Amino acid sequence: MWQCVLLWCVCVVALMYALCRWLIPAAVHRHGRLALLWHDVCVEPALDWLTHSSRPQRLLRAVQKGAVRGDARSVVANIDRFCHHSEWAMNIGDEKGAILDSVVSEVNPALALELGTYCGYSTVRIARLLPPGGRLITLEFNPEYAAVARQVIEWAGLEDSVQLVEGGSGDWIPQLKEHFGVQSFDFVFLDHWKERYLPDIHLLEECELLRKGTVVLADNVVCPGAPDYLAYVRNSPAYQSSYFQSHLEYTKAVDGLEKSVYLGTTDA
């Protein structure tokens, strides 16, 4: 009798392992919202409990263990490796990251703004492409994320080019001119709470932080999506917008980036 019970337990454990390790991840790989639900609601809390650490802390350890200190490309490559093979994370990822690189290189911004630092992956991608003397201001609401991002940025050797600010975008955007001597930004990257995209683009306009020709690039406009923001920049005469179709970071689920060039105020 006990042998049957033992065999049943072994079979259940094996089935659960197969489901969690291969079958479920394969099923959600092409479904964006399912991927977010699986990785953020199921996998992350379980790993937090098992490892007594957070996903950002595990990502940081991967960087410190595998990346060459002072080599920004090595830092990016190690985070991508960690997210592909160890644990998914909500960075822009390598596929969309190549689009980000292309836009940043095209703009060649002397002054850039990032809303949503997370662990510093996109921060490193942007900062490593800035021209000599270029500067990136990045805002992060979550103190834990900001603490990890500072260490990732420092490991990449980019701390002199990046000003990381803790706090909400709605609080900080009106203070950027006063605190940092900013007149306007050449490039803005939106990758924070999607419901903040529209109010924050309005706030950037109101605070006159966009100049004619400023390029605004928004991530995750399909998954999880920012429909009100897309409707605004695609229909406003103040913007010329184009869409880059891609995939949700480290999956095959459809996602994309929206590039919007600010044309200036339409007021007479």
Q: Which residues are catalytic?
A: 191, 194, 219-220, 249
Of 53, 89, 55, 97, residue with least CA distance to 72: 97
Q: Report the 10 Å Cβ neighbour count for 53.
A: 13
* 144 phi, psi to nearest 5 deg: -65, -45
Strand partners, 217: 189, 259
Rounded to 5°, angle at Cα 24 from 18 and 28: 160
Longest dimension (CA), the chain: 87
Of 218, 220, 217, 227, residue with least CA distance to 246: 220
Report the sign of the C-alpha dihedral through residues 214, 257, 167, 90, in that order: negative
